Amino acid sequence: MSAAAMELRSGDAGGSSIEAAAVGGEGLRVFTLRPRRSLGRSVGLPLLALALPVLAAEIWLMDSREAWPVMGATTAVVLGAIFVAWIGYRRANASISRYGIVERGFFGGVSTVAARDVAGVLRVQLYRTNSLDTTQELFVVERTGRGAFRMRGRFWDEPTMDQVAEVLGVEETIGSEPMTLAELRESNPRLLYWFERRSLSR
């Protein structure tokens, strides 16, 4: 039993790789996809920028002798939260093969979707909140109509999304027109996260 060579790809997708594992003498392609590398900077820097005014306010409002221990504790908490978020971001990935999907989420949870349960892949352009700009969203849809796996354009790039339907060996449907979250909620609520299924305006 032998395994084929591994080909590595790098880029803003975060270093997606294609691995060939030996199964019954035949190579099995496993695509390991990771979020955009730029996501760490775009999320981490604003969090750090929000923490600095809090630290400055503590120094300003407190007596100098009281401020330093509180500021030290606040700094430790903020740096700890940033470190935990960074580790979660670095470990998040999705491995896709013709047998299904194994997803390791941002918070460490692992979920699997068997290929036999997948009905197809849906890609739509969703309008961003209060904007005419759109972002691409990919949904792996189960035979029951439930969204089993989701790739959001903020976290994944289009070349990475292009591989999903091909690797799974299912049909891909592409929405002809951009739509709002409310329209998607009306037509396919089971594709959305639980907190997106309810409109705040109602």
pLDDT value for 131:
82
Whether 20 shows a pLDDT value over 90: the answer reads no
How would DSSP label each residue in 3-51?
-PPPEE--STT---EEEEEEETTEEEEEEEE---THHHHHHHHHHHHHH
Of 17, 34, 24, the C-alpha closest to 3 is 24
pLDDT tens digits for range 83-108: 887 888 888 889 999 999 999 987 77
For the chain, list the domains and their CATH numbers. Answer: 7-35+92-196 (2.30.29), 38-84 (no CATH)
Quick one: which H or E segment has residue 104?
strand 100-104
pLDDT tens digits for range 140-166: 999 999 999 999 888 888 888 998 999
Do the strands 118-127 and 172-174 form a parallel or antiparallel pair, or are they unpaired? Answer: parallel
